[in-house]
């Protein structure tokens, strides 16, 4: 948490983030703002909900700092970077990106959010070092729904392969290197090769 302090302009936000992280490390049957709040001793989920939806903090800086911290401890010189997607079942299309789409984690097509993740794996362990939410063409083009959900203008439709390339380039710029790269069938090998060019990951 010490290396993340500068990512939070307010002490209260930093404290809530730390408490939420401690809650996420607990063995809870269900994980949501209500169960986390109860586990860490809050009277309700409001502080956690505020942190995730309205509080001011640099989530990109936090993710990069955590990735750097983890890579420094896991890197064995033979790391593998792995791109994969996962779906999170939703009950409403009001959730950003939620649409009827395929997800292996739910066993077929269903209403879910899909995110593409970049994982670093070594003989010492593995961890997610980056992620990005996938917006379907229909969701990305729905201006009314975007405005209601507060989706920033720069978040548009791109393929999962393009998202993977961007994450690999970001990892490379951060000095993260790997001996191999692996991706599932949603990553087009030809597009990946073309998009990465001479980039050595």
**Measuring CA to CA, how many Å separate 95 from each of 74, 91, 98, 152?**
34, 9, 5, 14
Rg (CA), the chain: 18
- DSSP designation for 130: E
The predicted structure's pLDDT at residue 108: 85
Count of residues for the chain? 201
For position 130, what pLDDT does the model report? 96
b (16+ CB within 10 A) / e for 56-92: ebeeeebbbbbbeebbeebeeeebebbbbbbbeebee
pLDDT of residue 95: 86
Residues 144-157 as b/e (b if ≥16 CB within 10 A, e otherwise) read eebeeeebeeeeee
Output the pLDDT for position 199.
56
The pLDDT value given to residue 195: 55
Residue-level pLDDT at 153: 87
pLDDT (tens digit, 0 to 9) for every residue of the chain, 201 residues total?
888 989 999 999 999 999 999 999 999 998 999 999 999 999 999 999 999 989 999 999 999 999 999 999 999 999 999 999 988 888 888 888 888 888 877 788 889 999 999 999 999 999 999 999 999 898 899 999 888 888 888 889 999 999 999 999 999 999 999 999 998 765 565 566 655 555 554
**pLDDT given at position 201:** 43
Residue 79, pLDDT score = 95
Backbone angles phi, psi at 131, to 5 degrees: -160, 155
Residues 6+ apart with CB under 8 A from 98: 90, 92, 111, 112, 113, 139
pTM recorded for the entire structure: 0.84
């Amino acid at each position: 948490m010490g290396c993340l302090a500068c990512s939070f302009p307010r002490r209260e936000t930093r404290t809530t983030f730390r408490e939420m992280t401690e809650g996420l490390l607990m063995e809870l049957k269900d994980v949501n703002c209500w169960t986390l709040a109860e586990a860490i001793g809050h009277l309700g989920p409001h502080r956690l909900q505020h942190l995730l939806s309205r509080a001011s903090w640099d989530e990109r800086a936090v993710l990069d700092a955590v990735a750097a911290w983890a890579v420094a401890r896991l890197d064995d010189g033979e790391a593998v970077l792995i791109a994969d997607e996962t779906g999170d079942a939703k009950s409403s299309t009001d959730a950003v990106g939620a649409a009827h789409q395929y997800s292996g984690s739910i066993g077929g097509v269903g209403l879910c959010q899909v995110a593409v993740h970049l994982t670093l794996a070594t003989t010492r362990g593995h961890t997610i070092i980056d992620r990005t939410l996938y917006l379907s063409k229909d969701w990305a083009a729905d201006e009314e729904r975007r405005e209601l959900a507060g989706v920033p203008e720069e978040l548009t439709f791109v393929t999962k392969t393009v998202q993977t390339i961007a994450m690999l380039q970001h990892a490379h710029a951060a000095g993260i290197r790997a001996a191999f790269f692996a991706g599932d069938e949603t990553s087009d090998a030809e597009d990946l090769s073309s998009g990465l060019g001479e980039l050595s990951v």
